[in-house]
Structure 1
Amino acid sequence: MSFEWPWQYNFPPFFTLQPNVDTRQKQLAAWCSLALSYCRHHKLYTLDIMEVQESPVFNHKNIDRKLSTEAILIVFEELRKKGNRAAFIER
């Protein structure tokens, strides 16, 4: 069974953090949901921030858009704040 991408994934502005506070909160909620769903579907329990930048979840090659490293860190911080067991691990 293949992963089903949400509609936002094909919307180029989704890959740029929005400046409006309300819009950004909705966008971050969508990114958190996408990241958790993707990890659940693919049975991923850890993600390397540097490697995940090139993974399909944050890099949509068909529309030539990717979430910036800074934005990925913001998504992971949002997951951590919401108690989704996201944690930064030093290497």
Structure 2
Amino acid sequence: MSLSPHTTPSGNLLLGFLLPSIHAAPPFFTQQPNPATQAIVTEQWSRLILSYARHRQLFTVRVEDAEVTGGEWDEILRNDRINRRLRSSHLAYILEQMAAKNQLVYDPPKQSRSALLYWRTPEEWAEVLHEWASTTGQLNTILTFYEIIEPPVPSPLSGIPMQILRKAIHILTKTNRAQIIAVADGEGVRFLPGNAGK
């Protein structure tokens, strides 16, 4: 069988996800005894996981996802055309390597089975957040965190995990582009123009 890219159906999404040709190679799904080879495989898996998460807007991956048939990660963690799937122990190793490169953070902390993916870094999310506030006329308006995560009109921030949102807001506060404000039901944020404090 020749190795070629393959497009997934991606559930009911209009655009499928283009899997790299290495996804059709049986050794890709197996931990390699040679450290140099495994480093290449891990790098390829890391890129694949992050690009697929971005494509599907997935923020969380769990070691158990390798064992779940029909789950949201099934399209990339298995390849039925070559009868292969990534084992949970291999996925745990890949996630550990991704954590070491700040490509994800374990959530909740102090465990290594579930992680939040940084397909955008917190710094990139801060820019997306400020751009969203600017283009939707939200500058100098106090918004609750919930209004950002669950906006009335879907946005690039829809469904963003609270932990990532907090990091992005913290980055904006350090550059005087946001202020944390106490509101009746918890915390809110006021976004300031980019030149605030200059």
CA apart distance, 1:47: 1.9
Is 1:33 aligned to 2:47, yes or no? yes
**One-letter identity of the residue aligned with 1:87:** Y
**Out of 45, 48, 59, which is 2:78 matched to?**
59
Provide the rounded CA distance (Å) in 2 between the counterparts of 1:22 and 1:63: 24
**One-letter identity of the residue aligned with 1:13:** P
- 8 A Cα contact 2:65 2:88, kept in partner: no
CA apart distance, 1:23: 0.7
In structure 2, the residue matched to 1:13 is 27
Provide the rounded CA distance (Å) in 2 between the counterparts of 1:65 and 1:21: 21
| Structure with the higher helix share, 1 or 2 | 1
Deviation digits for residues 5-52 of structure 1 (CA, Å, limit 9, x no counterpart): 011100111101111111111110001001111101000001232134
Provide the rounded CA distance (Å) in 1 between the counterparts of 2:83 and 2:97: 25
Gaps of at least 5 residues in structure 1 are none
Deviates further, 28-37 or 77-86: 77-86
Relative contact order (alpha carbons < 8 A, sep ≥ 6): 1 or 2 greater?
Answer: 1
Is 1:69 aligned to 2:74, yes or no? no
| Structure with the higher strand share, 1 or 2 | 2
Provide the rounded CA distance (Å) in 1 between the counterparts of 2:51 and 2:78: 16
Cα RMSD for the two superposed structures: 1.7
In structure 1, the residue matched to 2:178 is none
Whose radius of gyration is greater, 1 or 2? 2
Provide the rounded CA distance (Å) in 2 between the counterparts of 1:85 and 1:51: 16
In structure 2, the residue matched to 1:85 is 104
CA apart distance, 1:88: 4.4
Aligned length: 91
**One-letter identity of the residue aligned with 1:57:** I
- 8 A Cα contact 2:42 2:94, kept in partner: yes
The normalised TM-score by structure 2 is: 0.43
